[in-house]
Structure 1
Amino acid sequence: MSKECIMLLVGKSRSEGRAIAIGVAFLLWAVLFEQSAFGGGPPAKSVDPGVAAKVGDQIVTLDELEKALAPQLAKLQDQKFQLMASKLEELIAGRLLALEAKRRAITVEELLKAEVTSKAPGVTDTEVTAFITQNKARLQGQEAEIRPKVREHLVGQKLQETRSTYLAGLLQRAKVERFLEEPEPIRIPVSAEGAFAQGPKDAPITIVEFSDFQCPYCSRVIATLKEVVRLYPKQVRLAFRDFPIAGLHPKALKAAEAARCAGEKGKFWEYHDLLFESQAQATPADFKRFAEQLKLDANSFATCLDSGRHAAAVAADVQEGTRLGITGTPTLFINGRFVVGALPLEAFQGIIDRELRRSSK
């Protein structure tokens, strides 16, 4: 009992002191009980920080959990970085405008009015008409109703372009250092063994593409990937693996087999291009005609295609893609980095250049 409690008891009558003593004892008992009931007792048995769960004697590790979610986590990580990079540029632009406005002893609003609003080119009736003509399929309503909306849209575009040009000038004159670094990407081990590939085997970057010969988005990325191979002839190896989505494109399975039959004769990539260029033509007869166009032996190709010789290999690729978490095409792995969709060339170049810088360290 503390000294303060003892002094309190001394100054009281015996009955009052007894009551207070009982109250203090009860309070001490309550505190001790609470500590015992809510963690004040012996410490619980520690759990390995690498364990996420226990099922009987079996454990589920955090590493196992992260590997199972690798595609989704990779996508989230990339989205987070892109959001941060975009917001950083927005904040830098705000600082530049504020500094320039302060230098000129005006407000930011006055600065933008002087350098952007007043200098943005106007929108002509000809431009409005041309936009409506080019986008007629996705514009709804009578022309008289949509013209004001189109004009407003074009005015906004020109204001944004003028603002971007002005900011680029401010950026050139200012001292801006960026320290935001992309985090080490989540990498998913993907094999290119046995896949049809082009580019040096010892290239520092391997792109493994899972694709569907009937997928329209897959056809859009072909030209981009060809440009990537052209721009990085010694740095990039491109490997193709099948992921026909039978529920959406039932003809894609046989198309994948046909490409492998052409690959037996060293014509995979030429046949690959024909399939993507002629997606509307996807019957077995069309596949055999494509083989003839490439001067392949007609009988040998027909035997290969009709026998289903490569059906198991195509199915194995689909199974592997499913295990890797692929749900759509095209899906690519750039040195194990998960990339989805027909991205523009600049996006591929950005990833490849970052990978090359990493490999040179």
Structure 2
Amino acid sequence: MRGTRAVRAAWAVAVAALVLVSLPGVAFGQAAPLRIVDATPDLAAGTITIAGSGFGTRPFVTLDLVPLNVQLALDQRVIAAAPLGMMPAGRYLLTVTRGERPGDTASVDLQVGSVSAAATPSPSTGSAAASSRAADAPPASAAPLVSPMPAPGDVAARVGDRTITLAELDREWQRTDPSGYLAASRELYDARRRLLTDMVNSELLAREAASRRVTVDALLAEELPKRSVPLPDNALTTLYQSMGDRTRGASLEQLRPALREWLARKVEPDLARMTYLEELTKVSTNADILLLSPRVEVEHRADDPTLGPASAPVELVLFGDFQSPAYARQAATLGRVRDMFGTRIRIVFKPFPVNDPASLAAAEAAACANAQGKFWPFHDTLLGAAGALDDARFQKVASEAGLDRPGFARCVEGHEMRDRVTSALDEARRYDIPAPGSILVNGRLAPEAPAFLPTFEYFKRLVEEELARQAREGRR
């Protein structure tokens, strides 16, 4: 009897030990958190040596989300290869992960290309106030002053009794090189807009801080954490898709911890700051940015595929390539955008097949469908179907979209729409369109979509900002 009791007691102890080991909260059953103590870049060797603990045997290392080749992996030291000599000087987010559990990922800000090339570990969520202070800090040295930019009426040259003004010079530039003039104008606008936005934001924060009798840093430290919200998983997916070849073949699951770190450290604090500044703009101070981006007069052709009334206050001109992932994401959201804004928006499609001959063939096929009044059914079906962009697929899509097959086949095989597509390409170049997926909002080139922002939210922001601009102009 005593022997049986002893056996049972020993068995109970063994089972209890196994249960305790399996519980996640028990220290000896859980791996220690991954920690980065230091990271040192070696520009000559093209490597980063990372010191810490808990790296495991197969750490996954990224620098600004780009996966690096790991040359050495020990539990307390990792060496990863990176093209440091080709990288601009600056701070980069270095992330090491060994899995998806809490404690399996750590990040540091790595300084590359400066005298003090050391890493600064910080919490995963980052410090919004510290980020704001860095953004507001004055430059270490001021650039030498230059003469003010000339006004349009200023004289640029004199020849005998003829005076050539800067305005005349600009008109001639527009006539002889419209895309070059537009590119220079947009570059100047972008620089001015960035600086103007910083100036307006600084003024808003200074006024609000003064009204509360606190410093700007104290104001941000109090207000930004209230507005910092973790972005949803679809932001991870959108950010991953925007990386393109920069993923270096890594899957979404492999990059997920690094993507989450990037959003938490880089994006969410900035969004909290933007949200607060928008609130100050609307509530605390009457502040308007009146600087307008360069605008082009868009050529409207009778055969342009369109959605929405010509009287709509907002016109979105989309430059599409059927092989462009960016354009495919845009096209997939057009229905939701139209549902939200109804008759307030008009969508115009312009072919911009710049990837390869298959893109050109798809653009011609879509133009042939447009000639039968079936552009949008063909467009949506082609983007929704997998496979190569070849004649067999075009014919299949044409059948599904309800086209007259013989007429469509003659149009495609005879390249009847080649001139139309070529003309559209020339038009896009006149507007200095940088890539498929670019959008003109009432003739103004839309800013590039933030990598984390879902496409629908991007469209929503573009339309709402244009409607708000029109409302402000109507009040003046």
Once the two structures are TM-superposed, the CA of residue 330 in structure 1 deviates from its matched residue by 2.5
Q: Quick check: 1:81–1:182 contact (8 Å CA) kept in 2?
A: yes
Give the letter for the 2:428 counterpart: G
Match in the other structure for 2:27: none
1:186 matched residue in structure 2: 294
Task: Work out the CA distance in 1 between the residues paired with 2:314 and 2:430.
Answer: 23
Residue 113 of structure 2 aligns with which residue?
Answer: none
Structure in which a larger fraction of residues adopt strand: 2
- Aligned mates of 1:165, 1:234 — CA distance in 2: 28
The answer as to 2:317 corresponding to 1:208 is yes
The answer on whether the counterparts of 1:210 and 1:243 sit within 8 Å (CA) in structure 2 is: yes
What corresponds to 1:293 in structure 2? Answer: 400
* Structure with more relative contact order (C-alpha pairs < 8 Å, separation 6 or more): 1
> How large is the Cα RMSD of the aligned pairs?
4.4
> Can you list the C-alpha shifts for 1:286-340, whole angstroms capped at 9, x where unaligned?
1111112123233332222212111111111112222332342223333322336
Aligned partners of 1:196 and 1:239 also within 8 Å: yes
More helix by share: 1
Do the aligned residues in 2 keep the contact of 1:201 with 1:237 (CA within 8 Å)?
yes
- Find the counterpart in structure 2 of residue 253 from structure 1: 360
Please tell me whether the aligned partners of residues 217 and 341 of structure 1 are also in contact (alpha carbons under 8 angstroms): no
1:72 to 183, 186, 193: 183
Structure 1 residue aligned with 2:378, among 271, 279, 285?
A: 271
Residue of 291, 308, 319 corresponding to 1:199: 308
Normalised by the length of structure 2, the TM-score is 0.49
Cα gap change, 1:110 to 1:252, in 2 (>3 Å): closer
Q: Which of residues 208, 212, 218 is equivalent to 1:100?
A: 212
Question: CA distance change for structure 1 residues 355 and 274 in 2, over 3 Å: closer, same or farther?
Answer: farther
Q: Distance in 2 between matches of 1:309 and 1:152?
A: 49
CA change 1:174–1:357 in 2 (3 A) is closer
Structure 2 counterpart of 1:93, which letter? L
For structure 1, list consecutive stretches of 5 or more residues without a partner in the other structure: 1-42, 53-59, 124-130, 141-145
Structure 1 pair 260–236 and aligned structure 2 pair: CA distance change class (3 A) = same
- Cα distance change, pair 293–203 in 1 and its aligned pair in 2 (3 A): same
SS in structure 2 of the partner of residue 325 of structure 1: coil
Match of 1:242 in 2: 351
Match of 1:25 in 2: none
Identity within the alignment, %: 25
Give the secondary structure class of the aligned counterpart of 1:271.
helix
Q: Does the CA-based 8 Å contact 2:387-2:393 persist in structure 1? A: no
User: Do 1:204 and 1:356's aligned partners in 2 also have CA atoms closer than 8 Å?
Assistant: no
2:346 is matched by which residue type in structure 1? R
Match for residue 442 of structure 2?
A: 335
Structure 1 letter corresponding to 2:365: A
User: Structure 1 pair 78/61, CA: closer, same or farther in 2 (3 Å)?
Assistant: closer
Q: Which moves more between the two structures, 250-259 or 158-167?
A: 158-167
CA distance in 2, matches of 1:326, 1:173: 33
Alpha-carbon distance in structure 2 between the residues aligned to 1:266 and 1:180: 42
Match for residue 196 of structure 2 among 67, 79, 84: 84
Is the Cα–Cα contact under 8 Å of residues 199 and 236 in structure 1 kept in the other structure?
A: yes
